[in-house]
């Protein structure tokens, strides 16, 4: 497995990581067989994946417990990333944002317990909290780094001004944000700032929440608990309008003797050597397909052809409803 370095602190991860959220929420009914999910995570390690992403809010809490139990036997072989930043009531329901230093410390202690580990390799602020100066957040995480509870500091969905302010207090190893052929907004400003500051990029939803696989069309029905049923970009009308994206990607993939998903991931990997996408899945065959992207070679001519093919395409539909979009710091 190819390795990549995130940030100036030398955090080494597999070129493709594993986004674990979908094993506990957001994409329809959760798997009934927890053991099967644990087995899939351990198989990913056997196949060379060393980078696993979770968060306290996934579930909440249960995803960290799943990841912690699954990876405990191979803890020293893997990099575990998790996130803080949401507040919960006594029933575990999300009540808003909270990145106060005292909440960060409590969240980290909870994550360490659920993950069955003594350190978090990469700790992200999940969403920027406008009530707490980012300098205070970076300082609190820096204290946790000094204590050995955290190895590296990350941000998620943060804008360039926030990134610069945080990085000035404590080095930011990675920014996690959505980035794919289905959502290229980070190219406007984010990627340039990350390159300038030496910060890695960890794209979530690198397959456009499944749309870039070519297995979703206008007739697809999303079941109960599937977040895509409420996303403007996934209305039937938007899917029909955006089918051109999949059609173009499919033609390119056919030329490369690869699947659309593999081609989309290979495109991301080719953008910068410090980009490490984290596709998620619940199925072994999809894990193996995703890892096949590492064998897809895109030449400069291929990348130029992809750029030309997508230059005239405008994706229809916002990626989030308005309330969710307000939590993205741009």
- Is-above-0.95 flag for pTM? yes
Distance of CA 52 to the CA centre of its chain: 10
**Which pLDDT score is estimated for 270?**
98
What is the pLDDT at residue 276?
98
- Residues 124, 56 contacting (CB under 8 angstroms): no
Q: Distances in Å between the alpha carbon of 13 and those of 73, 233, 259?
A: 18, 31, 24
pLDDT, residue 292, reads 98
The conformational region for residue 313 under phi > 0 = left, psi -120 to 50 = alpha, else beta, is beta
- Structural domain total, the chain: 1
Distances (CA, A) of 18 to 42, 277, 282, 290: 11, 8, 11, 10
Backbone φ and ψ of 229, nearest 5°:
-65, -20
Q: Could you tell me the residue range of the domain that residue 71 belongs to?
A: 3-325
In a domain, residue 276? The reply is: yes
For residue 329, report the phi and psi dihedrals to the nearest 5 degrees: -90, 100
User: Which residues of the chain are under the pLDDT cut of 50?
Assistant: none
Residues 6+ apart with CB under 8 A from 25: 58, 59, 63, 225
**Residue 198 is part of a domain; what is its CATH number?**
3.20.20.100
Residue 136, domain member (yes or no): yes
Is residue 330, in this structure, part of any structural domain at all?
no
Q: How far apart are CA 39 and CA 282, in angstroms?
A: 10
184 domain-assigned: yes
Three-state DSSP string of the chain? CCEEEECCCCEEEECCCEECHHHCCCECCCCCCHHHHHHHHHHHHHCCCCEEECCCCCCCCHHHHHHHHHHHHHHHHCEEEEEECEEECCCCCEEEECCCHHHHHHHHHHHHHHHCCCCEEEEEECCCCCCCCHHHHHHHHHHHHHHCCEEEEEEECCCHHHHHHHHHHCCEEEEEEECECCECHHHCCHHHHHHHHCCEEEEECCCHHHHHHCCCCCCCCCCCCEHHHHCHHHCHHHHHHHHHHHHHHHHHHHHCCCCHHHHHHHHHHHHCCCECCCCCCCCHHHHHHHHHHHHCCCCHHHHHHHHHHHHCCCCCCCCCCHHHHCCCCC
Task: Find out whether 30 and 21 touch, Cβ atoms under 8 Å.
Answer: no
Nearest CA to 81 out of 168, 14, 160, 29 is that of 14
Burial of 75 (0-12, 13-18, 19+ CB in 10 A): middle
Catalytic residues: 58
């Amino acid at each position: 497995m190819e390795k990549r370095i995130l940030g100036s602190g030398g955090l080494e991860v597999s070129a493709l990581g594993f986004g674990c959220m979908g094993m506990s929420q957001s994409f329809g009914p959760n798997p009934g067989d927890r053991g099967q999910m644990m087995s899939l995570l351990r198989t990913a390690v056997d196949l060379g994946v060393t980078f696993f992403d979770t968060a306290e809010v996934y579930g909440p809490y249960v995803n960290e417990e799943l990841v912690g139990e699954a990876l405990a036997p191979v803890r020293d072989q893997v990099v575990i990333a998790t996130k803080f930043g949401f507040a919960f009531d006594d029933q575990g329901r999300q009540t808003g944002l909270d990145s106060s230093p005292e909440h960060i410390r409590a969240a980290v202690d909870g994550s360490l317990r659920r993950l069955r580990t003594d350190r978090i390799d990469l700790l992200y602020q999940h969403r920027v909290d406008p009530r707490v100066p980012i300098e205070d957040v970076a300082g609190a995480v820096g204290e946790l780094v000094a204590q050995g509870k955290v190895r590296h500091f990350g941000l998620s969905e943060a804008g360039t001004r926030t990134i610069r302010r945080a990085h000035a207090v404590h080095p930011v190893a990675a920014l996690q944000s959505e980035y794919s052929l289905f959502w290229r907004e980070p190219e406007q400003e984010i990627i340039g700032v990350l390159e300038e500051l030496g910060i890695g990029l960890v794209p979530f939803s690198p397959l456009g929440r499944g749309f870039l696989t070519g297995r979703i069309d206008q007739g697809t029905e999303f079941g109960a608990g599937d977040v895509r049923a409420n996303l403007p970009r996934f209305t039937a009308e938007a899917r029909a309008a955006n089918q051109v994206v999949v059609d173009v990607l499919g033609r390119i993939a056919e030329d490369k003797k690869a699947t659309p998903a593999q081609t989309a991931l290979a495109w991301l990997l080719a953008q910068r050597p410090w980009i490490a996408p984290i596709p998620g899945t619940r199925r072994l065959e999809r894990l193996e397909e995703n890892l096949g992207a590492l064998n897809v070679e895109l030449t400069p001519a291929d990348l130029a052809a992809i750029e030309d093919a997508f230059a005239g395409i405008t994706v229809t539909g916002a990626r989030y409803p308005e309330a969710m979009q307000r939590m993205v710091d741009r």
